[in-house]
Structure formats: C-alpha cells, structure tokens
Amino acid sequence: MERVYIGDLKNHVGKEVTIAGWVDIRRDHGKLIFIDLRDKSGKVQMVALPNHKEAHELANTVRPEWVIQVRGMVNKRPERMVNKDEANGDIEIEMLEAKVLSKAQELPFEKGTEVNLDTHLDNLPYTLRTPRSQAIFKVQATIMKAYRDFLIQEGFIEFNAPKLIGEDAEGGANSFDVEYFGHTAHLAQSPQLYKQIMVGVFERVFAVGNVYRAEKHSTSRHINEYTSLDIEMGFIKDHTDVMDMENKLLAYIMKELKEKHAAEFKLLGAEIPEVPEKIPTLKLREAQEIIKKEFGEDPKNAPDLEPQHERWLCEYSKKTWNSDFIFVSHFPITKRPFYTYEDENDQGYAKGFDLLFRGVEITTGAQRIHDYDMLIASMQKKKLNPEKFSFYLQAFKYGMPPHGGFGMGLERLTAKLLSLENVKEATLFPRDLNRIDNLLSK
Amino acid sequence: MERVYIGDLKNHVGKEVTIAGWVDIRRDHGKLIFIDLRDKSGKVQMVALPNHKEAHELANTVRPEWVIQVRGMVNKRPERMVNKDEANGDIEIEMLEAKVLSKAQELPFEKGTEVNLDTHLDNLPYTLRTPRSQAIFKVQATIMKAYRDFLIQEGFIEFNAPKLIGEDAEGGANSFDVEYFGHTAHLAQSPQLYKQIMVGVFERVFAVGNVYRAEKHSTSRHINEYTSLDIEMGFIKDHTDVMDMENKLLAYIMKELKEKHAAEFKLLGAEIPEVPEKIPTLKLREAQEIIKKEFGEDPKNAPDLEPQHERWLCEYSKKTWNSDFIFVSHFPITKRPFYTYEDENDQGYAKGFDLLFRGVEITTGAQRIHDYDMLIASMQKKKLNPEKFSFYLQAFKYGMPPHGGFGMGLERLTAKLLSLENVKEATLFPRDLNRIDNLLSK
C-alpha cells in the first residue's frame, strides 16, 4: 500500500492507510499503548489495542526515535478526546499491523529538553530533529527560495562563485590557507570580485554560497563559515538603486514567510517584521548625532558603529519610524574596501551603506568604482598591488557600467528574524574556533 | 528618462527611448556611423547621422566594449534593410544624444575570435561576454532553477552543507588541506554525510554547492572545484526509487530548457535530449556482456567502467532504445563507499547506480545503509575507524529510515548537454592543477 503522509491523514478518515515515521512519544497504559508517530509532514496519535496482537506486541517494544511503518485505520476521536490545538487532534490511528524499519539506541536526553548550546551542537544529528530546529531550517530554506525567486523576476541570473581563490586578490590575515598542489590558495571571504566581473557579462547577477572568515572571535553573531546572499547590478544611478532593490527584496521575503511560516514563527515566539515602503536612511554622521542626543554617548566621528550603537539606532528607528530596519550610509571612504565609490558630492565618504535589523548589521553594500583608472588609483591609495588583481581588472579594462550590490549573511538574517540568541542556532553545522562538528582536540 | 531594455524596443517603435549597453560593433561609413549596442536582453543597430552633431562625434570616438547611454528614436527599417533572422532586425535607433559611461582599452582580440582554451581562460572577464559563453551560463542557471523547482514540488527541502570538514570522516588522499586555527581541516569532496544526517531531520533534502577533489589529472572532464547537485530521500523501497526520482527530475529539466533556451541550444549547435519514460538499466555484468558481444572487447568483470566502455554503452543505448541516458547498476560492493547498501538478492553487488549520458557518467547514486550495526560492520570491513565518524553515526544511533540519493556534477551535465568539448567551458572560473584564474607560477 502506498505510504500516506501524516499531514494528509485528514483526507483518509474511515479508511485504512500505511504511514511511516519516527516514534515521537510512547505512552503505555497497560492494555492500551499510545504512540505519537512523526514524519516530515506532521504528527499523529496511534493506539495499539490488545486484539491486534502482533501490532500490540511491537508497540510494546518500540522506543522513541525508532522508525516504524504502520498499517492502520484512521478513526475520528470521540468528542471528549479531541484536541483542537493540534493538527491531527481530531483523529487517531488504530494500529493493525506494524514493522520496525530501524531501531534507536537510548537517547542522550529526552527530545525537547532545554540543553546548552554546546550540548545542542554535540548532538546535532539528534537535536536537529526537534520542532524548534526543524522550524528554523524550514524558514531558512524559504528565505533562500524567496531571495532567488524575487531576483529572477527582476532579471538577475544566478551564478556559482568559486570559493577557492589564488594568492592574489583579497587574501590576507582573515583568510584560511589551502594547500593547493604546492601553492597556497585561500578560501573566499566573499564573491565580490567575481560578481563584479559577472556584471560585465549579465548586468544583474546573484550568488548564494559559503564564505569564510578566519576570525578568532567567539561572539553570538560570528561564525567562520557562513552562507552569503550576494547581488550585483549594473547601470545604476548610484547606491540608492541598490538600496531600493534590497528594500523590495526584503518585502518579498517577508511576504513569503508570512504566507508559509506563520506556525514556525509562532512556535519560536518570533514576529515577522513589516518592511516599510521606504526603509529610513541616515548618514553615519547623522546617526552619530542621534546617538549623542538620544542616548548620551558621543561616538566622536568614529569611522564605524559599535554593536551598542547599532542597537540604539534600531531602537530609535523603531520608535521614530516604526521600522525594524534602518540604513546607515556614507561611512568614511578610508575604511571601506578599495572598490567602493566615493561620493563626489560628499567627499571623503562612500556611496555605501549598512542595513541594520533588530540591533545588528545584516548587510553591507555600495556603489563600486567602474572606471579602470579610478580603480587603480584607489588600490594604490590602499597600498594594494594592482598586479595581483590583473585577472579581475580585465573586466574594467574592457568596459564596465556603473554598478553596485550588497552581501547579506543568511544565518544572521535567519537568527534575527526568529529572535534566536546565537547565530549558531541558525547555522546547520556551525564551524567556529573550537568546533568542526565535534570539538577540536586541544 | 527610464532606461528601456534592448529586448523590449519592438514595443517602442516611433518613440524616443533611452537605452544603455556595450558597443558590440562599430562600422564607420563616413557620414553614417553604425553601432550595434548590446545589453543583457539583446542587441540593436543604431545609426549616428551628421545632423545630430554631438551624438555623431561621440559615435566617431567610441570603440568596442565602451559602455554608453543613448537617447534615440526607434525607427522601422526600410523594407530592403530588414534582417528577418535577427531579433531587432526590423528596427534601428537614430542616435539623438549619447554619453560615455565607461571607456574600454584596446581588446586582446576581436570578440568571437576562436581562441584556444588557455587563451579563453586567461581572458575570462572578456571572453565570458561572447554570445557563446553567455548562452552556456544562462542554460546552467536554468538547470539549477529547474532542479530546485522540481525537488521543492516533490517535498524536498534545500540545505547548505558545510564545505569545511574536520580531520575525521571522509578526508584522505583526494582532499585539500586547510589550515584551521592550528588544526588541519579538509575541503569537502561531497555533502554525503550531511545529507544523510538531514534525512533524519526532513526525510527529503537537496543541496547545491561546491565540492573539491585534489586529483592531479588533467582531462577534459575533470576540474578540482565543481558544483554538485545532491539529493537524499528517506523511506525508499530500494535504489530504484532514487533512479525513478532522477528520471523524473531530468525530464523536468529538459522540459524547462526546451521552453526557455531553444535559441541558446541552436547557437551552440546542440540538441536537448528526450528523456525516456523509463531510462534503460543494465547491471554492470550485463553491460560488460554487451560490450564484449557488440564491441569485441572483454572487460573481464572489471569492477568499474572505462571511459571507452561508457561511450560504447551510450552508443548501444541510443541504437537499441533511442535513449541518450542509461543507468548501470550493481557495481561490486567492495568498490563502493562504506555507506553503500549491498543487494541481499545479489550478494557482493551494490544497490547503486551510475547514470551515463552521451558517453560519460554524470551521476552516482545508491541506497545507503541505515542500520547502525550494519554501518559499523561495513566501516570495519573497509578498515575505517568508526570513532572518526562519531558525529555522523549519531544519526544512525537514533533511528534512520531506509534512504538513498545521488550526486550530479552541474558543470559536466551542462557540458554534455551543450556538446562542449571540455567541462572547463561550462565552469565559470575553473580551477585546475595549473590555474586559479591566472596560471599558477611554477
């Protein structure tokens, strides 16, 4: 008999079905044994009665996380047993026949036990099976899908950027070294140079892929391998075209999440933010004035925002404009990468922006330099050797339109959306200073 | 004035528009200067007349690959000038005003010049702009999209597998070493272990991501960093469920390519294959019998197929069943990875398969072992230390359904579909023994 998903059982009331999944909970009431069975689509309560002897015996032996297949009758529950708050709360499966597909050993702890982050990570193949983790990564998959769908609608083409990069280009202190046939290669910190090259080919491109930061800090918002959602678009008037595109993209993602994941957000006690028609924007200097005036700390023209400043600005944005999002633009050009475009009307400052969301930066973007000579001059100012960028520079030798883009960390966005305390909870298999799956030996 | 895409000009005949793009060709007829302008959506012929003095002067100075913006009138061409074989062959833009967005230096060679592969790769930021390369990577983007759309419809959830893996697990001779905070990590050769873990979480999962092989061979079908399209599905009856899913997936991809990329296939002189309702399948031993009988070479029970054998089998499949695809199943279990399921009805042979397409293997798949004790025994048989797999093994300790999956190289599939001679032509920025963007210094 064809397997029926548990989520579809309501269409089979009064009929015999075959279902399969994991034993979620087993409650032994002597003659009656209740088992909650779980598959990818949901959960259902089953009951084993003594008159179906073999099924009853099997129900007696199974334990949580055993995988079983069951032939059973889909019965309506008696009125007083109906649980209206549960998906299959009005039905019950009477077990007729059952077989074990796979046993499970004793569990390290009961599922759903609150454990500390290290214990969670030590046991991921088990802890990812909790409703909480499943919800997080379902939401994350939908963010990726919505991101792609929106950009494809807008005429962007997806490409795969290489992660293995040469000795030239953006290497440096924060990159991991790879032993490459007698050479030292690096793991990419971003697809930046490649997405700019691709603007010369397709004008509008995006990429989704892992990037690497060999940073030794251990905070709740950093990981050493993460997924970067990147876009780059040509023929822009300036960086505000990129900000507008991101604004629309975020609105689309939130709309999709609302349609598909109300239940997951409820489970996690998180709220899907409203995206304003136009996300408010402050220049860094304006933002610093506000911090001074409203929060009593003078950032004194610091070239960047401290984490506390980001939190304050988000608080201010929420209060003033009812927006969970706020753009901060015009950081000093000296503190931005060599390819960043300086604002000709506000010299010394970049046509670039960060996007802050619920207290943290989730995006960095900018208009880029498209003129070859300007780019060479900018490299020289930053003491970079243009020779090392010869491959990339070809794009600019052979005609590049004004362009810009941004990068967004998928895990950090997921964590902030779902109000998770640590980005590692939104990273399937997080790598950090001390851990690749297991803790690294000292 | 809002920019109009060149591909949409036919809707603006008799009107003034602003367009922007790259100078593709410039033909100087003295008073009349013709420029073909190219953007992401197509090409159009423009004409500069002496009566629009400034535009004419600018047209006189521009060279191929300069990026310009043009205000112009969309005119119907006189009947005798119409070129019916070109997209905008019946219109022409009269240049009224123009400005240069970006100049280009002298080109290394004229666009479209046939160059050898090394020259092509040396100049990728320029050579990717040819219609040929654009066609290849548009098709590749659609393959990725179709792959995802189909699997999401079938209830699969996408996840991002880590590429940075620990000292344990599948390391070994063919993996690249990464210096990781005083430890040696490796670049993943596949997401295999993670996608199996994820079957325990979501039953059906897929991943798209770079994988790495530190193999020193230099052939037309190998690269050291490629994109792997992976799936893994739970609650299967055996490996044939996985083959059926791949069969349907391929049919969906080809349908999408037919709808969207007839022009690209035509340009490349390639044909979109028909996918049979049921792709023919041979056991390895049957395939070897056929090779012996039909092609006169005895593979003598070799545990794998030689490249020439793969070509012959595809030839045979085409001739016999009119299929560009053929599955070969039941390779000796001793030659397959430790997680491969042995066929209980054909002992010594794997419930696994390769898919051959146009003379080359594009997929390897199998049912996997889901029983913890069987898995440990299989590791021990292969002289692997189960301790090193302790993280992965948790999935099996805590109940795993029968499952299987496959991996498919995106670039190799693209190359074969488009009849490209070398997989590097279907790889945006190929890394090999001698090259990461530029040739590596000796």
What DSSP assignment string belongs to B382-423? TT--GGGGHHHHHHHHB---SEEEEEEEHHHHHHHHTT-S-G
Q: What is the pLDDT of residue A441?
A: 80
Parallel/antiparallel/unpaired status of strands A183-187 and A352-357: unpaired
Is there a contact between B125 and A398 if contact means CB atoms under 8 Å apart?
A: yes
Nearest chain A residue to B427 by CA: give it.
A160
Mean pLDDT confidence for B276-288: 98
| Residue B309 backbone dihedrals phi, psi, to 5 degrees | -65, -40
Q: How far is CA B377 from CA A65, A423, B9, B266, in A?
A: 22, 37, 67, 52
Mean pLDDT confidence for A340-347: 98
Residue B354 has pLDDT above 90, yes or no: yes
Superfamily of domain A6-102: Nucleic acid-binding proteins (2.40.50.140)
Instruction: Compute how many other C-beta atoms are within 10 angstroms of the C-beta atom of residue A345.
Output: 8
Q: What is the mean pLDDT of chain A?
A: 95
End-to-end Cα spacing for chain B: 53
**CA-CA distance, B256 to B270, in Å (whole number)?**
16
**A144, two tokens:** 């990726």
Is there a contact between A164 and B431 if contact means CB atoms under 8 Å apart?
A: yes
Q: What is the pLDDT of residue A442?
A: 66
In terms of Cβ atoms closer than 10 Å to its own Cβ (0-12, 13-18, 19+), residue B347 is: exposed
Q: Return the closest-CA partner of residue B311 out of B297, B329, B300.
A: B297
> Shortest CB distance from B66 goes to which of A163, A235, A399?
A399
Mean pLDDT confidence for B204-218: 92
Q: What is the pLDDT of residue A92?
A: 97
Mean pLDDT confidence for A74-85: 92
Q: Which residue has the tokens 């012959």?
A: B312
Whole-model pTM over 0.90: yes
Nearest chain B residue to A393 by CA: give it.
B125
User: Dihedral, CA atoms, B294, B295, B296, B300, nearest 10 degrees?
Assistant: -90
Question: From the candidates B436, B438, B441, B442, which should be mutated to test the interface with A, based on the most A CB atoms within 10 A?
Answer: B436
In terms of Cβ atoms closer than 10 Å to its own Cβ (0-12, 13-18, 19+), residue B410 is: buried
Helix (H) or strand (E) holding A195: helix A192-202
Residue B358 has pLDDT above 90, yes or no: yes
Residues A282, A325: contact at Cβ < 8 Å? no
Residue B91 has pLDDT above 90, yes or no: yes
- Residue with the bigger pLDDT between A36 and B111: it is A36
Mean pLDDT confidence for A61-81: 96
| Residue A430 backbone dihedrals phi, psi, to 5 degrees | -65, 140
> Shortest CB distance from A152 goes to which of B145, B200, B433?
B145
Where does the pLDDT of residue A168 fall: very low under 50, low under 70, confident under 90, or very high at 90 and above? low
Q: Return the closest-CA partner of residue B227 out of B401, B14, B84, B412.
A: B412
Where does the pLDDT of residue A167 fall: very low under 50, low under 70, confident under 90, or very high at 90 and above? confident
Going from N- to C-terminal start, the domains of chain A cover: 6-102, 120-439
Enumerate the residues of chain B whose CB falls inside 8 A of the CB of residue A105. 372, 397-398
Q: How far is CA B64 from CA A60, A96, B102, B104, B120, in A?
A: 78, 76, 11, 7, 18
**CA-CA distance, A211 to A431, in Å (whole number)?**
12
Residues A438, B166: contact at Cβ < 8 Å? yes
Contacts of B167 (CB under 8 A, 6+ apart): B183, B184, B185, B186, B388
Where does the pLDDT of residue B112 fall: very low under 50, low under 70, confident under 90, or very high at 90 and above? confident
Q: Return the exposure string of B147-166: e unless at least 16 CB atoms fall within 10 Å of the residue's CB, then b.
A: bbbbbbeeebbbbbbbbbbb
A232 DSSP β-pair partners? A205, A405
Enumerate the residues of chain B whose CB falls inside 8 A of the CB of residue A370. 67, 101-102
Contacts A–B by Cβ distance under 8 A: 264
Where does the pLDDT of residue A219 fall: very low under 50, low under 70, confident under 90, or very high at 90 and above? confident
Where does the pLDDT of residue A1 fall: very low under 50, low under 70, confident under 90, or very high at 90 and above? confident
Where does the pLDDT of residue B442 fall: very low under 50, low under 70, confident under 90, or very high at 90 and above? low
> In A58-138, where do the E strands start and end?
67-76, 91-102
**CA-CA distance, A440 to B21, in Å (whole number)?**
52
Give B332 to chain A, closest Cα distance, Å: 25
DSSP class of residue B342 equals B
Residues B202, B233: contact at Cβ < 8 Å? no
**CA-CA distance, A181 to B122, in Å (whole number)?**
20
Residues A28, A9: contact at Cβ < 8 Å? no
**CA-CA distance, B363 to B389, in Å (whole number)?**
25
Is there a contact between A162 and B225 if contact means CB atoms under 8 Å apart?
A: yes
> Shortest CB distance from B102 goes to which of A22, A370, A441?
A370
Q: What angle do CA B126, B132, B138 make, to 5 degrees?
A: 95
Enumerate the residues of chain B whose CB falls inside 8 A of the CB of residue A214. 181
Enumerate the residues of chain A whose CB falls inside 8 A of the CB of residue B126. 394-395, 397-398
Enumerate the residues of chain A whose CB falls inside 8 A of the CB of residue B35. none
Residue B168 has pLDDT above 70, yes or no: no
Reported ipTM exceeds the 0.90 cut: yes
> In B3-141, where do the E strands start and end?
16-29, 32-39, 42-48, 67-76, 91-102
CA within 13 Å, CB half, A97: 5
Q: Return the closest-CA partner of residue A39 out of A62, A6, A73.
A: A6
Nearest chain B residue to A228 by CA: give it.
B160
Residues A311, A328: contact at Cβ < 8 Å? no
**CA-CA distance, A63 to A65, in Å (whole number)?**
6
Mean pLDDT confidence for A41-57: 96
Q: How far is CA A191 from CA A170, A180, B191, B328, in A?
A: 10, 19, 21, 38
* Lowest-confidence segment of A78-92, A124-138, B266-280, B358-372 by average pLDDT: A78-92
**A271, two tokens:** 């709220």
Q: How far is CA A90 from CA A14, A15, A22, A354, in A?
A: 13, 15, 20, 49
Q: How far is CA A118 from CA A121, A123, A157, A422, B135, in A?
A: 5, 9, 39, 12, 48
Residue A223 has pLDDT above 60, yes or no: yes
Is there a contact between A162 and B128 if contact means CB atoms under 8 Å apart?
A: no
Q: What is the pLDDT of residue B170?
A: 58
Q: What is the mean pLDDT of chain B?
A: 95
**Which CATH class, in words, describes the domain spanning B121-436?**
alpha beta
> Shortest CB distance from A201 goes to which of B128, B187, B201?
B128
CA torsion sign, B58 to B60 to B61 to B63? Answer: positive
**CA-CA distance, B231 to A254, in Å (whole number)?**
27
Amino acid at A382: K
Is there a contact between A433 and B22 if contact means CB atoms under 8 Å apart?
A: no
Give A60 to chain B, closest Cα distance, Å: 17
> Shortest CB distance from B123 goes to which of A164, A216, A394?
A394
Q: Return the closest-CA partner of residue B394 out of B197, B250, B120.
A: B197
Listed in sequence order, the DSSP H helices in B6-130 are 53-61, 117-122, 124-127
Mean pLDDT confidence for A11-25: 97
Residues A136, A420: contact at Cβ < 8 Å? yes
**Which CATH class, in words, describes the domain spanning A120-439?**
alpha beta
Give A387 to chain B, closest Cα distance, Å: 11
Residue B128 has pLDDT above 70, yes or no: yes
Is there a contact between A176 and B179 if contact means CB atoms under 8 Å apart?
A: yes
**CA-CA distance, B293 to B285, in Å (whole number)?**
12
Is there a contact between B429 and A392 if contact means CB atoms under 8 Å apart?
A: no
pLDDT > 70 in chain A, percent = 98
SS3 A229: strand
Q: Return the closest-CA partner of residue A118 out of A416, A426, A442, A434.
A: A434
Q: Which residue has the tokens 């042979």?
A: B349
Amino acid at B384: L
Residue B19 has pLDDT above 60, yes or no: yes
Q: What is the pLDDT of residue A14?
A: 97
Q: Return the closest-CA partner of residue B182 out of B162, B161, B167.
A: B167
Q: What is the pLDDT of residue A111?
A: 87
| Residue B260 backbone dihedrals phi, psi, to 5 degrees | -105, -20
Enumerate the residues of chain A whose CB falls inside 8 A of the CB of residue B389. none
**A213, two tokens:** 């930061």
